[in-house]
Amino acid sequence: MPVYKGMVQPVRATPDELRKIHIEPVPDTEKPQKALEFLDQIRKKFRSFVMAMESCTKCGQCAENCHTYLGTRDPNNIPTNRAELIRKIYRRYFTLEGRWFGKLVGAEDINLDVIEQWYSYFYQCSQCRRCAHVCPFGIDTCEVTFIGRQLLHWLGITPKLHASVGAAMERVGNHTNFPKPGIVDTLEFMSEEIMEEFGVEVDFPVDKPASDIMYIPSSADFMLNHYTLMGAGMYFNYIGANWTIPSAVTEAGNFGLLFDQYYTQRHNVMRLLNAAQELGVKKIVWGECGHGWRAAKMYIPSLADRPVKWPIIHIHDEIAEMIRNKELKLDPAKNSKPVTLHDPCNYVRACGLNENMRVIMRAVTTDFREMTPHGMDNFCCGGGSGILFDDPEMYQRRIQLSQKKADQVRATGVGKDGNGILCAPCSICKAQLYPMVEEHELGVEVKGLVDLVGRALVWK
């Protein structure tokens, strides 16, 4: 029998924390029956879920392509086995053979132990979709994980991190509970820093009516990734844009995609559209956040309660187009350290944001070294889908999940002399990689792509 050694679980939200995001926890005695009712609703609505439940042949192609399995070697972290945790319940209650023959056909009764397994393993999957990329049947285990997390959320089983982020977004419009006075003060400080370091005057408008561009940064850019937000501000000022940051939505992420697509994700979408409506902007430009960009590009039209009249464009696409049109004067020698690019999974496997990142990298650096593999074949940073848990057990698991990425970075040689750059153009990737490059002693500094653009600009 295989040894399942991965039953680590993130700290859970309390009942009071869940109520703040509109969930009333289901009593333990009712959880199995409620889970079946929710699963029945899901299978009737999503043909893709039924396909994932009924089409897998257990060929094993996904196993060695999953960084979670490679880092833990836990059989339940093989994508097909992770999906099997919910598939065996589906088979037992929603297929003829499962109802008749039960365990003989791999079906299993639902109970609290099964639900606990769901909570452990669905929050070890980073939803990177690499398994779907290699699956000969196109089964997307990420979608199975989405559904598993949604079921858990409806039952009242949600990580404290995700619940607190959902509540903060509803309260102030970002993940970090950062109020408008703090936003304004931080942007003023960044203007001063840019003047001191680069000698140029950069303004960060907040809530400016009738702006052409409404820029949506990650809230982490106000606290941790200063040069990403500074780089964006420098870029917009350089091109003379009429732009603004909306204080009501200072968050490119949308954790609703990761645990609650029915309420939290939709609420965040409406908050964004309301801000665009109130400010009278013409276009929305998205900052560096992988899952947030997927949530914006792929989900907003279907979740909105009105026609979406604003083009929504990623800042990388904007900058790459300017470079192609030779509208930016850049000096790549300003970024002369060896640099490699980590491809955020949601950019390259969900949103087609692949070549434009490389257009920018080649224009703003002198020593760019690709990882192997890269682009759509990349490996996850290990923190995707918000599994940035700091409790000791889960933090150790994050180290394991980042092992494949560490091997990739080390193989490029950029950190050999201790002065390399790991470009991670996604807020969650940065949050995962800041501590992981230290844990794995990679000799690199983590930066965003817009950081490098800001530094490379040649001012008139």
Dump pLDDT digits (tens) for 343-393: 999 999 999 999 999 999 999 999 999 999 999 999 999 999 999 999 898
Distance CA 77, CA 84 (A): 10
Tokens of 63: 């196993």
Tokens of 48: 């893709």
Whole-number pLDDT of residue 6:
57
Distance CA 315, CA 232 (A): 8
The answer to whether the beta carbons of residues 67 and 382 sit under 8 Å apart is: yes
Q: Could you tell me which residues come within 8 angstroms of residue 264 by beta carbon, excluding any fewer than 6 positions away?
A: 21, 166, 169, 170, 255, 256
| CA 179 from centroid of its chain's CA atoms | 23
Whole-number pLDDT of residue 2:
41
CATH code for residues 165-321 = 1.20.1050
The answer to whether the beta carbons of residues 297 and 254 sit under 8 Å apart is: no
Assign 3-state DSSP to the chain and report helix, strand, coil percentages, each to 5: 55, 5, 35
Q: Where are the domains of the chain?
A: 15-158, 165-321, 328-456
User: Is CATH 3.40.50 what the domain over 328-456 is classified as, yes or no?
Assistant: yes
> For the chain (length 460 residues), average pLDDT per consecutive 10?
65 98 98 98 96 96 97 96 98 96 95 97 97 95 96 98 98 97 98 98 98 99 98 99 99 98 97 98 99 98 95 99 98 99 98 97 99 98 95 93 98 97 98 98 99 97
Q: Could you tell me which residues come within 8 angstroms of residue 87 by beta carbon, excluding any fewer than 6 positions away?
A: 52, 53, 56
Among left, alpha and beta (phi > 0; psi -120 to 50; other), residue 280 is left
Distance CA 305, CA 303 (A): 7
What is the CATH architecture of 15-158?
Answer: Orthogonal Bundle (1.10)
Residue for token pair 């304004």: 184
What ranges make up the beta strands (E) of 281-355? Answer: 283-286, 312-314, 339-341
The count of residues in the chain is 460
**What stretch of H or E contains 422?**
strand 420-423
Whole-number pLDDT of residue 3:
45
In degrees, rounded to 5, the angle at the alpha carbon of residue 395 between the alpha carbons of residues 394 and 397 is 60
